[in-house]
Structure 1
Amino acid sequence: MRGSTETPAWLIVTQREIVARVMNKAYLFGLLVTILLIAGIAGFFAWQGQQVDSYDVAVTAGDEPAASAVERAAATLRESGADDELTAHEVPDAAAARAALEDESVDAWLSSGGQDGWTLSSWREPDQGLASLLTPVVEQVTVTEHAAALGTSFDRLAAGGDLVTERLDGDDVDPGVLQFASFALAFLFFMGSIGSGQMIASSVVEEKQSRLVEIIASAVPLRHVLAGKVLGNSVIALAQNVVLASVGLIGLALTDFKAAVPAMTASLGWFVVFFAVGFVAIASLYAMAGSLASRTEDLQGTTAPMAVLLMAVYLTTFGADGTLERVLSFVPVTSIVSMPVRVLSGDAGWWEPVVALVLLAAFALAVVLVSEKAYRRALLQTSGRVGWRQALRA
Structure 2
Amino acid sequence: MSTDTSTDRTDRTDEPAWLLVTRREVVSRITDKSFLIGTALMVVMIVGFLGFTAWQDEKTDDVTLGATPDAVAMATAVKDGASAVDDKVRVAVVELDDDAAARAALREDDVDAWLHPAEDGDGWQLTSESSEQDSLTDVTEAVVRQQVLARNAADAGTSVDALEAGSSVTTSFLRGDAERAAVAEVVGFAFVFLFYFAALIFGMQLASSVIEEKQSRIVEIIAAAIPLRHLLAGKVLGNTALAVIQLLVYLVVGLVGMSFTSYKSYLPALSGPTAWFIGFFLAGFVALACLWAVAGSLASRTEDLQATSTPLTMLMLVMFFGGLSLDGRAQVIASFVPPVSAVVMPKRILAGGVEWWEPLVALGLLAAFAAVTVWVGEKLYRRALLQTGGRVSLRQAWSAAE
Could you say which TM-score interval applies, normalised by the shorter chain? 0.7 to 0.9
**Cα deviation, residue 135, structure 1:** 4.5
Once residues 326 and 339 of structure 2 are traced to their aligned partners in structure 1, the CA distance between those partners, rounded to angstroms, is 15
Once residues 210 and 73 of structure 1 are traced to their aligned partners in structure 2, the CA distance between those partners, rounded to angstroms, is 74
Judged with a 3 Å threshold, the aligned counterparts in structure 2 of structure 1 residues 289 and 118 are, in CA distance, closer, same or farther, namely closer
Choose which of 153, 163, 170 in structure 2 pairs with 1:166. 170
When structure 1 is superposed on structure 2, of 27-36 and 329-338 the one drifting more is: 27-36
Choose which of 294, 310, 319 in structure 1 pairs with 2:300. 294
Once residues 155 and 305 of structure 2 are traced to their aligned partners in structure 1, the CA distance between those partners, rounded to angstroms, is 85
Match of 1:387 in 2: 393
Residues 209-224 of structure 1 aligned to structure 2 (within 5 Å): 209-224=215-230
Residues 202-351 of structure 1 aligned to structure 2 (within 5 Å): 202-250=208-256, 252-253=258-259, 257-351=263-357
1:84 equivalenced with 2:89 (yes/no): yes
Structure 1: gaps of 5 or more residues:
none
Conserved in 1, the CA contact under 8 Å of 2:150 and 2:159?
Answer: no
Match of 2:78 in 1: 73
**Cα deviation, residue 356, structure 1:** 0.8
Conserved in 2, the CA contact under 8 Å of 1:238 and 1:276?
Answer: yes
**Cα deviation, residue 93, structure 1:** 6.9
TM-score normalised by L of structure 1:
0.82
Once residues 266 and 315 of structure 1 are traced to their aligned partners in structure 2, the CA distance between those partners, rounded to angstroms, is 24
**Cα deviation, residue 319, structure 1:** 1.0
- State the aligned residue count: 386
**Cα deviation, residue 69, structure 1:** 3.5
**Cα deviation, residue 158, structure 1:** 2.8
1:56 equivalenced with 2:81 (yes/no): no
Match of 1:29 in 2: 37
Query: What does the per-residue CA deviation read over 1:178-234, in whole Å, with 9 as the maximum and x for residues that have no partner?
Result: 443443322222211121111111112212222222222222222221111111000
**Cα deviation, residue 392, structure 1:** 3.0
Once residues 142 and 371 of structure 1 are traced to their aligned partners in structure 2, the CA distance between those partners, rounded to angstroms, is 70
Judged with a 3 Å threshold, the aligned counterparts in structure 2 of structure 1 residues 330 and 82 are, in CA distance, closer, same or farther, namely same
Structure 2: gaps of 5 or more residues:
1-7
Choose which of 7, 11, 17 in structure 2 pairs with 1:9. 17
Judged with a 3 Å threshold, the aligned counterparts in structure 2 of structure 1 residues 282 and 75 are, in CA distance, closer, same or farther, namely same
Once residues 112 and 383 of structure 1 are traced to their aligned partners in structure 2, the CA distance between those partners, rounded to angstroms, is 81
Conserved in 1, the CA contact under 8 Å of 2:210 and 2:293?
Answer: yes
Name the SS for the 1:266 alignment partner: helix
Conserved in 2, the CA contact under 8 Å of 1:108 and 1:120?
Answer: no
Match of 1:377 in 2: 383
Conserved in 2, the CA contact under 8 Å of 1:281 and 1:367?
Answer: yes
Conserved in 2, the CA contact under 8 Å of 1:183 and 1:319?
Answer: no
Percent identity over paired residues: 42
Once residues 107 and 206 of structure 2 are traced to their aligned partners in structure 1, the CA distance between those partners, rounded to angstroms, is 65
Judged with a 3 Å threshold, the aligned counterparts in structure 2 of structure 1 residues 346 and 18 are, in CA distance, closer, same or farther, namely same
TM-score normalised by L of structure 2:
0.81
Judged with a 3 Å threshold, the aligned counterparts in structure 2 of structure 1 residues 79 and 131 are, in CA distance, closer, same or farther, namely closer
Name the SS for the 2:325 alignment partner: coil
Name the SS for the 2:377 alignment partner: helix
Name the SS for the 1:318 alignment partner: helix
Once residues 152 and 373 of structure 2 are traced to their aligned partners in structure 1, the CA distance between those partners, rounded to angstroms, is 78
When structure 1 is superposed on structure 2, of 25-34 and 341-350 the one drifting more is: 25-34
Judged with a 3 Å threshold, the aligned counterparts in structure 2 of structure 1 residues 388 and 119 are, in CA distance, closer, same or farther, namely closer
Name the SS for the 2:59 alignment partner: coil
Once residues 290 and 112 of structure 1 are traced to their aligned partners in structure 2, the CA distance between those partners, rounded to angstroms, is 70
**Cα deviation, residue 331, structure 1:** 0.9
Once residues 192 and 145 of structure 2 are traced to their aligned partners in structure 1, the CA distance between those partners, rounded to angstroms, is 48
**Cα deviation, residue 342, structure 1:** 1.1
**Cα deviation, residue 325, structure 1:** 0.9
Name the SS for the 1:87 alignment partner: strand
Match of 2:159 in 1: 157
Name the SS for the 2:354 alignment partner: coil
Amino acid at match of 1:83: K
Judged with a 3 Å threshold, the aligned counterparts in structure 2 of structure 1 residues 111 and 202 are, in CA distance, closer, same or farther, namely closer
Name the SS for the 2:159 alignment partner: helix
When structure 1 is superposed on structure 2, of 162-171 and 309-318 the one drifting more is: 162-171
